[in-house]
Chain A
Amino acid sequence: SQELEQSPQSLIVQEGKNLTINCTSSKTLYGLYWYKQKYGEGLIFLMMLQKGGEEKSHEKITAKLDEKKQQSSLHITASQPSHAGIYLCGAARAQKLVFGQGTRLTINP
């Protein structure tokens, strides 16, 4: 099984709706990254969370880190077509970086 599990694996929402993607770790989280990938393209860094309880926002995307639950959530408010893509969470493990399997987000007009 994956060290980082994302849920849901895919999500279809209507434009304008809010949505949440979760990332749960089987190990203690000391920091977590969120990336976005457009289909078949490279990853774009969104946010890094380092402290328990930390919350960061970028435009309409907000991410939180719950260290006790070993979980992070990414919330999009009033989704737009530009939010479509694959969202990946990643965690540093010593000098390595591990990723979740990704959540594919589709926005319907």
Chain B
Amino acid sequence: EAQVTQNPRYLITVTGKKLTVTCSQNMNHEYMSWYRQDPGLGLRQIYYSMNVEVTDKGDVPEGYKVSRKEKRNFPLILESPSPNQTSLYFCASSRQAGQPQHFGDGTRLSIL
């Protein structure tokens, strides 16, 4: 089954404690992306990757890092999480940029 898998689905943690949200897709897609969803603001793109070893900032990259060492994986790293990063995060992938994206089920992060 074609899917984008995120882990964990839920996480409560404290300010400053480094965390990683993993994202994996099994569709051999070149394009992957991370979004955060906040009430009243909709989905905002954090980072995206056109292919292996190629990553670029989205609209709200501050406080986040990503890497794309393999085609299937695109982890999101919060080196020093802060409460304003409490949000619902989505990973997505598509065959190429500009094509419809497949979304993961989301990761709800709470930073205390």
Q: Provide the residues of chain B in CB contact with A88, threshold 8 Å.
A: 42-43
* A101 and B45 within 8 A (CB): no
Which residues from 63 to 112 on chain B have a C-beta closer than 8 Å to any C-beta of chain A? Answer: 88, 90, 92, 97-98, 100-106, 108
Number of chain A residues close to chain B: CB under 8 A: 24
Is the Cβ of B106 less than 8 Å from the Cβ of A40? yes
Complex: how many Å from CA A40 to CA B88? 8
A9 nearest in chain B by CB position: B40
Cβ B105 vs Cβ A42 within 8 A? yes
B56 interfacial by beta-carbon distance below 8 Å? yes
Nearest residue (CB) in A for B96 is A95
Interface bits B1-28 vs A (CB < 8 Å: 1, else 0): 0001000000000000000000000000
Q: A42-B103, A92-B97 are in contact. Are A98 and B45 (CB under 8 A)?
A: yes
Q: Contacts A96-B58, A96-B59 known; A2 to B42 CB distance under 8 Å? A: yes
Main secondary structure of the interface of A (DSSP, over half): strand
Within 8 A of B (CB), among A20-60: 31, 33, 35, 40-45, 48
In contact, B98 and A31 (Cβ under 8 angstroms): yes
In the complex formed, the residue of A with least CB distance to B50 is: A95
Contacts of B97 in A (CB 8 A): 92, 94-95
Which of B42, B97, B100, B106: most chain A CB closer than 10 A? B42
Closest to A41 in B: B105
A101 touches which one: B41, B102, B103 (CB < 8 A)?
B41
Q: Does A42 contact B104, Cβ atoms closer than 8 Å?
A: yes
Name the distance in Å between A56's Cβ and chain B's nearest Cβ: 12
- 29 A–B contact pairs at CB < 8 A? A2-B42, A4-B42, A31-B98, A33-B100, A41-B105, A41-B106, A42-B103, A42-B104, A43-B92, A43-B101, A44-B103, A45-B100, A45-B102, A94-B97, A95-B31, A95-B48, A95-B50, A95-B98, A96-B45, A96-B59, A97-B33, A97-B45, A98-B45, A98-B59, A99-B42, A99-B43, A100-B42, A101-B40, A102-B42
* A interface residues, Cβ below 8 angstroms from B: 2, 4, 31, 33, 35, 40-45, 48, 88, 90, 92, 94-102
